[in-house]
Structure 1
Amino acid sequence: MVNNHYKTAIIGLDAQFENQQSMQTDIDRVERALYLGKSTSTANKTLNLSCSAAIERMARANQVNSADIKVVVIKHDADNTAIDIEQAIVVSSLASALQQIEVLIEQSCLVALLGINLLSLSDKQNSSDDCHELATISYDQNFSAYQACRGIAALLFAPATFAQTHHCYVYSRVRAFATGSDIASVTAAALDKAQVNATDVGLLEVSALSNKETSFAEMQGLVSHYSYKNSASDGANEALNTAISCARSVTGEGAGFSEVLGLLRSVIALQQRYIPAITDWQQPVSSELAKWQNSSCYFPTEARPWYPQPNGNAHLGAYSCLSNSVDNAAVNSADNSAGHLAGNYDYCHIILEEEQVALVDGKHAIEDIRNNGFIACSDLQLVLIGANDLPNLLTKLTDLENEVEQSEITLNDIALTHFEQSKADSSRYTIALLCESIEELAKEIKLAKAGVPVAFSAVKSDNNNQQEWRTPKGSYFTASPVNDIESFTHSGKDSISTHNVSFLYPGIGATYVGLGRDLFHLFPEIHQDVANLADDIGASLKDTLLNPRSIIRPDFKALKQLDLNLRGSLADIAEAGVGFACVFTKVFENVFKVKADFATGYSMGEVSMYAALGAWQQPGLMSARLANSDTFNQRLCGDLLTLREHWGLAEPSQTDDELIWETYTIKATLAEVIAASEGEERVYCTIVNTPDSLLLGGYPADCLRVIKKLGVRAMPLNMANAIHSAPAKIEYDDMVELYTMDVTERLKTKMYSSSCYLPVPQMSKAIAHSVAKCLCDQVDFPRLINTMHDKGARVFIEMGPGRSLCSWVDKILDFEESSNNDFSNKEPNQEPNQEPNKEPSEAVHKARVSVPVNAKGTSDELTYVRAVAKLISHGVKLDLHRLFSGSIIVHKT
């Protein structure tokens, strides 16, 4: 066995590949495929692969001469194509390549490592007709074969001293490696030389070769070290701390290319701070299941954030590379259980370390933003068309249609060109087209040419329902933008202000498994600010609850149960709700450069509002307070002790599973509920959502009796917490204490509360009492929204999961007012259950736009681009550079 320890810097990346499904022409498209766990871009031409061009790109980014770079190429014997580099060292495995690189690094050389497979795909036969969906690996019981791929993967290695003195950007560092023929021993040696425990490694990239014997040998060797016996944790879920990834699940088999791509993927995951996915993973081969269950490994089926370590240490990744040049006979069948290979240097195990900017006074460095080209190189593109009137809009649509039909310009180039034009022009109207291909763009153009004139006609006829045009894809246009100053001036109406953006923070009940898992990769600008909100941001954002870890893929039933378990803990969902409110807010503040002029929260969303907007100095203190809060763990949730005391019920026992509280959503007015619940002491209207829908909470049998009397349908929310009810007032003082925290300098945002339906002064006690009163009293959401609209709010952006608040805003502001059912426009001192004094009036349409930014079951990327399309068409000023530019490659300046 040969062991090595050296801390070398990786300062360059490059890759291209194609398979039967797709073609990825540059490193950013490769990175996108690796993140998604699948290839998406359709191949429509032959990929031109050049080793010298890959080296030149890495050299140019680092401002070094490519002639000064030594080259090591991994190329298998089956690949007899010529390479366009002179004096390259050609080897057949990564294990051999690392030996060569070490020697050259000790000589202070820059070294480019290239893994190649240049064979034409037509020269290779696919092993199976059923492997077109490649997104799993040979450890999976459903695996059949990998399809063939061809490509180049490259990394540029530099001595640590060179990287430091030349101010090179470092993507990650090689902490240690070992090579040999015994997988278990080599793994142990690499961990020992790196001076780390297996439980310190958060990501393990594996080879998972298609050959069963070699795959089994690798698995055996790995689980002998990445196991519970090496973990200090007692909890099974906590012990699952090493994610398994495999680049072959994305690309297929590409010989030398695949060997280096596995290393490249590990480097990218560390640098971009995410755990990659094996998208179609199901479960291990049945005979190997027990071994995996005794390991510390899990199989992520979707990419998720890799949050900073609470102790501030850098993340560690490992790469288990078994060369595909090892043939079937190379596995020593007599010692298969030990994972032993015949011959030397066929296997290597590498430990990689994240390159971090040092903490400053315990805080993550704001400048450590790790950009990527994930959105910019996406198939999903936003094409903006602006003009000041209908004829010019139609002319520009026709011009674009002709351009699409007559030229070979790419969709990305079209989108970028129109974005640059939109920055130069200040148009009254904007059409936003969403599409994922040139063909789809052509369809959206045709739909726009038919739909946009209808929107203008609707404005002339005062038909509020058709003044906007949209498509199922998300393309959008409005002929009556809320920020159309010219329209208001010409019509003689009072002038309006463009300072009309309101952030709406939903309640905690909308939190779900998988919430926001792509946001940190879509918008890397938010990472550091969010990480600095708490000492352990992963715990605050409930990483293991929202991104569960498992060896067997959770089925629909299991995922539903995980959601129910999450909703059953008020403290957990409250903390996660607050944390993700900060995440959603930072996207708009840091990326799109939009600040809130108004804000409000729905129920516990009010807590989210104060934390997300920065009203508190240390919102992260909320984590420990909620975790240790009797009010939110036992008294108003959990055992519901406050209710039991208030209602004279016995304390809970281990055998008592009686449900004593349920919340139902029903269609009814407040007046109707007050009448139907007369004499019911354990039924409460907790929240009024719209003038004709609300939440009813209390003792289930009593609630159902009222619901039956009303003659309406009811949907239980499966949330046993008793806030917004009379018993909650017993906990008022404890809530005030819980939410009393030091505040920051005064914000410009007007923060409205349902405790008073006025902006709350940014003072510690004022906020604490506002939150406590909000959580004890009934919430009148229509009154809150109408009040803000009357004060100038026009753009309502929902800063959290779902679109419930947006839906209610639209219903509230379009509601047909009448003395029988309007209770949302009370006098300032009027109690919620008092009848309003208002005469009947006609149906009204109050100008506004409501925009959700998250939808369960829809990708974060698509949801945000749809939101941007709507906001841009309504004249809201956004910084859109993130959508059209960016790259993972850092060019030295």
Structure 2
Amino acid sequence: QLGLAARDIPGAHAAGGEWATPAGSFFTARPIGPEGKVALVYPGAFNSYPGLGQDLFRAFPGLLEHFEAQAEEPARQLRSALLYPRTYVTPGRRELMELESALGDDVPFMLATGTSFAILYTHLVRRVLGVTAHGGFGYSLGESSMLFATGGWSAEGRRDDLISDTPIFRDRLVGARRTVRELWRDIPADAPDKDLWASHVLLTDERTARAAIERYDRVYLTHVNTPGELVIAGDPTECRALIEELGCPAARSPVSVVMHCPVVDAELDGLAGLNDYPTGSLDGLELFSAYDYQELPGLDRERIARRIAHTLRSPIDFPRLVRTAYDRGYRYFIEVGPGATCSRWVRDTLGEQPHVAACVDRRGVPATKSIAQLAAR
């Protein structure tokens, strides 16, 4: 790395550009500097995967002590038996794919692990690496993870069992999707669950998609990820027809939870109850919400629960969240959760505007390497 740096950095400096290596070393001739504010970015709930964080505690033993200190049953709260399955024989590719598919359908597992790693990664960035964070925002259910990870909600009040026990994430918005069956009364009683609802990622712009969706009664624009990437959901047949009409690249999403559309309205009270936790302190952080794309107005317990429930029945406009933060002076965006989706979306949204978007976790990359790459940036 030193040899490569000695060879290449003078040229990058003279050209006013950047230099990076696959190992993670980085140089820029145009650093943003300390005047740019740092935002913590919390991804949605469905990014966990088998083996997530498997070497994190070995690299940072203090994180384990921190996590165990605030959890009565740390192994259960981390869902370690599912994240790191014990077998006599090393699982093959097929077994791993089946495991990942099963975990993806386990909403309580995804919510619990997403929140746990948001807490761990936030502590790592702020307390271990010593990065001064000024604010943050979350994508979809990442807003709930953000509140736990930043102290807005008391960690001691966390109740993952409520999510496991609620019918909302057992058969109302997932599985049999009874909420959908009750709303769309013409669905045959014996219709398979998989034929009720589908989500698709489309590579097109919001304006084009909205104009076409108006002609479909059971298709919803649920997420805008970037200026050129969005998610639609609804009746599988109508979704396919819309995609064919648009003629854009599209892929079916493995996540098909009913969310971010008016179908959720029947579950608003229950969703508010699942987001009703004792509040703590934000410690000066400026947190932005997709409820109104403004800073959280405070930590009133009931008000926060209602606001989050409302965001879960409304489309998510992630570029709007990013631009809101950018207009407030945020230039550094650190993704503190499983995967690296949000950091990519930040880059796609801001384009050539001066910014840094980095992540703590990158699938398939050792924790020490991904975190060293983050620190280098």
Q: Tell me, what secondary structure is at the counterpart of 2:225?
A: strand
CA shift, 1:752, in A, is 0.6
CA shift, 1:637, in A, is 1.4
Q: 1:533 aligns with which of 64, 67, 70?
A: 70
Q: 2:28 aligns with which of 475, 478, 485?
A: 478
Q: Say yes or no: does 1:847 pair with 2:351.
A: no
Aligned AA (1:864): I
CA shift, 1:777, in A, is 0.6
Q: Say yes or no: does 1:708 pair with 2:215.
A: no
Tell me, in whole angstroms, the C-alpha distance in 2 between the residues paired with 1:650 and 1:615. Answer: 42
**Residues 686, 725 of structure 1: 8 Å contact kept:** yes
**Residues 571, 632 of structure 1: 8 Å contact kept:** yes
Q: When the two structures are superposed, what TM-score results if normalisation uses the length of structure 1?
A: 0.41
Aligned to 2:80: 543
**Residues 569, 637 of structure 1: 8 Å contact kept:** no
Q: Which runs of 5+ in 2 are unaligned?
A: none
Q: 1:453 aligns with which of 10, 26, 30?
A: 10
Aligned to 1:518: 55
Deviation digits for residues 443-483 of structure 1 (CA, Å, limit 9, x no counterpart): x3343234323332343xxxxxxx21001121111111111
Tell me, in whole angstroms, the C-alpha distance in 1 between the residues paired with 2:189 and 2:57. Answer: 42
Kindly indicate which of the two structures has a greater share of residues assigned to helix. 2
Deviation digits for residues 626-661 of structure 1 (CA, Å, limit 9, x no counterpart): 1112212221112211111111255866x9354311
Identity percentage of aligned residues = 31
Report the structure number with the largest CA radius of gyration: 1
**Residues 175, 193 of structure 2: 8 Å contact kept:** no
Aligned to 1:765: 302
Aligned to 2:366: 859
Change (3 A) 1:803 1:732: same
Change (3 A) 1:868 1:663: same
**Residues 569, 638 of structure 1: 8 Å contact kept:** no
Aligned to 1:325: none
Q: Which ranges of 4 or more aligned residues in structure 1 deviate by more than 4 Å?
A: 649-653
CA shift, 1:806, in A, is 1.0
Q: Which runs of 5+ in 1 are unaligned?
A: 1-443, 460-466, 485-496, 815-844, 871-893
Q: Tell me, what secondary structure is at the counterpart of 2:334?
A: strand
Tell me, in whole angstroms, the C-alpha distance in 1 between the residues paired with 2:70 and 2:233. Answer: 34
Q: Say yes or no: does 1:802 pair with 2:352.
A: no
**Residues 104, 110 of structure 2: 8 Å contact kept:** yes
Deviation digits for residues 644-680 of structure 1 (CA, Å, limit 9, x no counterpart): 1111255866x93543112111111111111222221
Aligned to 2:266: 730
Q: 1:775 aligns with which of 298, 303, 312?
A: 312
Tell me, in whole angstroms, the C-alpha distance in 2 between the residues paired with 1:541 and 1:510. Answer: 14
Aligned AA (1:597): H
Q: Say yes or no: does 1:742 pair with 2:278.
A: yes
Aligned AA (1:547): Y
CA shift, 1:542, in A, is 1.4
Q: Tell me, what secondary structure is at the counterpart of 1:850?
A: strand
Tell me, in whole angstroms, the C-alpha distance in 2 between the residues paired with 1:764 and 1:454. Answer: 55
Change (3 A) 1:659 1:569: farther
Change (3 A) 1:468 1:628: same
Aligned AA (1:471): T
Q: 2:141 aligns with which of 604, 623, 626?
A: 604
Tell me, in whole angstroms, the C-alpha distance in 1 between the residues paired with 2:342 and 2:350. Answer: 12
Aligned AA (2:108): A
Aligned to 2:99: 562
CA shift, 1:532, in A, is 3.4
Q: Tell me, what secondary structure is at the counterpart of 1:797?
A: strand
Tell me, in whole angstroms, the C-alpha distance in 2 between the residues paired with 1:659 and 1:699. Answer: 8
**Residues 639, 652 of structure 1: 8 Å contact kept:** no
Q: When the two structures are superposed, what TM-score results if normalisation uses the length of structure 2?
A: 0.95
Aligned AA (1:483): G
Mapping of residues 583-662 of structure 1, within 5 Å: 583-618=120-155, 621-648=158-185, 650=187, 656-662=192-198
Mapping of residues 204-353 of structure 1, within 5 Å: none
CA shift, 1:564, in A, is 0.6
Deviation digits for residues 513-563 of structure 1 (CA, Å, limit 9, x no counterpart): 111111112111222321233322222221111111222221001101111
Greater RCO between the two (CA within 8 Å, min separation 6)?
Answer: 2
Deviation digits for residues 359-414 of structure 1 (CA, Å, limit 9, x no counterpart): xxxxxxxxxxxxxxxxxxxxxxxxxxxxxxxxxxxxxxxxxxxxxxxxxxxxxxxx
CA RMSD of aligned residues (A): 1.8
Tell me, in whole angstroms, the C-alpha distance in 2 between the residues paired with 1:505 and 1:867. Answer: 16
**Residues 140, 311 of structure 2: 8 Å contact kept:** yes
Q: Tell me, what secondary structure is at the counterpart of 1:706?
A: helix
CA shift, 1:619, in A, is 5.4
Q: Tell me, what secondary structure is at the counterpart of 2:171?
A: helix
Aligned to 1:698: 234
Mapping of residues 91-490 of structure 1, within 5 Å: 444-459=1-16, 467-483=17-33
**Residues 690, 782 of structure 1: 8 Å contact kept:** yes
